[in-house]
Structure formats: structure tokens, C-alpha cells
Amino acid sequence: MRGAAPRAAPFVRPPSGGPSRRTRAGGGASPVPRAAVVLPSFGRMTDLFNSPVLRIDQPRGAPAARSRYKVSDGRGRLLAAAEERDVSLLRQAVRTALGGSDGRRIVHVEDARGVPLLIVDKENKRRTRVNTAEGVHIGSVQNRERYDYALLDAAERPIGHLDGSRFGRKFPVLDVHGNHVAQLDKKWKGAATEALTTADRYSLEIFRPLADPLRVLVVAAPLAIDLMLYESKDWPIE
């Protein structure tokens, strides 16, 4: 008589938050690795994450107490716009009068067609979170000391850092192995503009293709640095 076909190993549902386990024939269990967070394919959606050169500008005429940015490629073609939303007039007035560098600011990033891409959430002057437009956490930019900023993935593991100069204007971007993968510089816009307004300008040059989430954090780094370092100059100019 032909023996019965072996039964498939039963699947045992893990406790909430634990890794899946499949029972072996001998009674043991082998862990199935937890699936990593899958980031959206930004490259298919927009040129923002594929351009090797980015120019980031704050409009001079923008309200000083509401963060706004334009992002262009090296030839001046608009790639993205970013701005705070739903900032009340009262909050803007308080920021303008007292300065608001330490408070929370949430900047929404859209591509040139208005498609939502990222949320850059400055929690305080030492930490900015970067999320997808749907709120999935990608990673964060965290101040370690003075002008040195760590790039952390969603699990808080270091994947790179910005090694800022003593004046906070030049930021070599290094990967976790110490390779110089990008360069972020704050450009000079004139004495009056620098001293009295938040109309800053940055250039970002990416030297080679980067894997996610490092690629996304490097692109978001100019906004994070500006929000944490330079949005304290909340004095309006006509």
C-alpha cells in the first residue's frame, strides 16, 4: 500500500509584533526574517531623486515665519516645491516677533506636478524626521554636536552623516564607510539678506547613485539643515 503523502509543515501565527515562524518536521522552529519597510519607487515618480545637482532656494518675499522652498536641477528646471501648511496668522506673528527656530515645523514636499513626495518634520533644533507622503517613516537627520549631523534609517541605525565646517556653511556628506558621497553648501546671498531674512540658498551635489534610504535622506538634508539651523532669523522684510 502506498504511503500517504507528507503533510505540509503547519504555519504558526506569531504573537503581535514578533517574527513569523514555520514549524519544522522535527518540532523545531526557524525564524522567518521580518520584512523590511519598502519605500516608494521615487525614481519612477520624479526627477528630484535622480538629479546629481540640486539648487534649493527660499523665496525672498515669502512670509518669514512660514517655511517655503523651491528645488531646481543644475539648469534651473523646477523639480519640487516644499512648504509648511495650515500655519495660523497668530503663530506666524509669534514666530516673527520672538523667533521660532526651536519649535516644530512640518514641511510638505511635492514634485513639479504637485504629486506629494515627502514630509520633512522638524521636531526640534536637534532632530528632523523624514517620512513618505503617507506618513511612513524613512529616517531622520539628528544633530550630534555643533555642525555634525547623523543620518539614521527608520530603525535608528547610522547610515551616514554630514560633517559640517566650523561656520556651518559647507557639509561634506559621508556614507557609513566614510566615503564622500555628496556635498551640501550654503550659498552667500548678500549681507542684508543673510542677516535679516530667512531667504537662504543651498546647493547639493551627489557624486554617485545612492541606495535608499540614504538617497532620500541626502535629498532631504538641505531642508532639514535649514529648518534646524537657519529658520531662527524670523524678521520680516518688505
In this prediction, residue 66 carries a pLDDT of: 76
* CB 160, CB 175: distance < 8 Å: yes
Question: What is the average pLDDT value for the chain, to the nearest integer?
Answer: 78
Domain that holds residue 100: 47-232
Q: Is residue 26 part of a domain?
A: no
Confirm whether 194 is domain-assigned. Answer: yes
pLDDT digits (tens, 9 = 90+) for 181-207: 999 999 865 444 444 445 679 999 999
Q: Is the pLDDT of residue 134 over 90?
A: yes
Q: Model's pTM, two decimal places?
A: 0.74
Q: What average pLDDT score do residues 222-227 get?
A: 94
Of 100 and 128, the one with more pLDDT: 128
112 domain-assigned: yes
Assess whether pLDDT exceeds 70 at residue 3. Answer: no
Quick check: is 180 in a domain?
yes
68: in domain: yes
Average confidence (pLDDT) over 15-31: 43
Residue 9 lies in a domain: no
190, part of any domain? yes
List, in sequence order, the alpha helices (H) in the chain: 42-45, 89-98, 191-196, 214-225
For residue 213, the model assigns a pLDDT of 97
User: Rounded to 10 degrees, what is the CA torsion of 124, 177, 216, 148?
Assistant: 20
Residue 232: the pLDDT is 56
pLDDT, tens only, 33-53: 333 444 555 544 578 999 999
Counting the structural domains of the chain, the total is 1
Burial of residue 140, with CB atoms counted within 10 A of its CB: 0-12 exposed, 13-18 middle, 19 or more buried: buried
DSSP 140-177: EEEEEETTEEEEEETTS-EEEEEE--TTSSEEEEEETT
Give the Cα separation of 202 and 170 in Å (integer).
10
CATH number at residue 107: 2.40.160.200
The CA-based diameter of the chain, rounded to the nearest angstrom, is: 95
